[in-house]
């Protein structure tokens, strides 16, 4: 039987939306690095899936490699930013009556909530890859809501509001950054 604190076991439990897992990693100060590894593993899986799709579409191996490296960097920065924005919103503006949390607690719960993203490795499969990718993204968002709810000790509705507002702030910051570096969206 697998150790209940092993990375794989925790990832499966996070994907199953087990509330006790999110409470466990919130309280385990040694789970921050494993949470980072979950983010990296999910990013690598997504990168492999989209990279294979790119190779199938004739974009070449360099597309695959740059996508993989860029995807990991964006995933790690996104994780840090998402947890930070969620922390700021959830402990100030949208704070619940019982909220008491730290940024590292949100790093851990939001990090482990990325576990369903591993399924994005299958996104290269013709006709169903996009559906798998969308499903994994929605599943991840639901897992983030569970993680935020547990870390901030708020209601599910408040956690949803925090996640939506946090995502909007993160999205706008991403657009501003893209504009500043001259990335053309259209």
What is the residue whose two structure tokens read 């482990």? Answer: 112
In SS3 terms, 39-63 reads as HHHHHHHHHHHHHHHHHHCCCCHHH
Residue 185 lies in a domain: no
Residue 26 lies in a domain: yes
Residue 186 lies in a domain: no
The domain of 38 spans 7-180
Residue 121 lies in a domain: yes
CA dist 112 and 171 (Å) reads: 21
CB atoms < 10 A from the CB of 33, how many? Answer: 11
pLDDT tens by residue, 107-163: 999 999 999 999 999 988 989 998 999 999 999 999 999 999 999 999 999 999 999
Domain count along the chain: 1
Look up the pTM and report it: 0.88
Q: Give counts: helices (H), strands (E), the chain.
A: 7, 0
Please report how the helices 7-15 and 19-27 are oriented relative to each other, as an axis angle in degrees rounded to 10: 130
Residue 106 lies in a domain: yes
């Amino acid at each position: 039987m697998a150790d209940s604190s092993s990375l794989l076991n925790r990832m499966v439990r996070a994907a199953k939306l087990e509330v006790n897992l999110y409470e466990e990693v919130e309280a385990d100060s040694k789970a921050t690095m494993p949470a980072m590894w979950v983010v990296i593993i999910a990013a690598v899986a997504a990168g492999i899936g989209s990279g294979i799709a790119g190779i199938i579409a004739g974009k070449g191996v360099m597309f695959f490699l740059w996508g993989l490296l860029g995807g990991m960097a964006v995933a790690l920065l996104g994780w840090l930013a998402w947890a930070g924005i969620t922390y700021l919103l959830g402990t100030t503006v949208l704070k619940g009556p019982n909220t008491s949390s730290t940024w590292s607690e949100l790093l851990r719960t939001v990090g482990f909530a990325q576990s369903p993203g591993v399924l994005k490795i299958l996104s290269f499969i013709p006709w169903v890859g996009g559906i798998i990718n969308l499903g994994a993204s929605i599943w991840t968002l639901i897992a983030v809501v569970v993680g935020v709810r547990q870390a901030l000790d708020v209601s599910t509705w408040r956690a949803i509001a925090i996640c939506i507002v946090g995502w909007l702030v993160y999205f706008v910051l991403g657009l501003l950054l893209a504009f500043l570096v001259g990335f053309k969206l259209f």
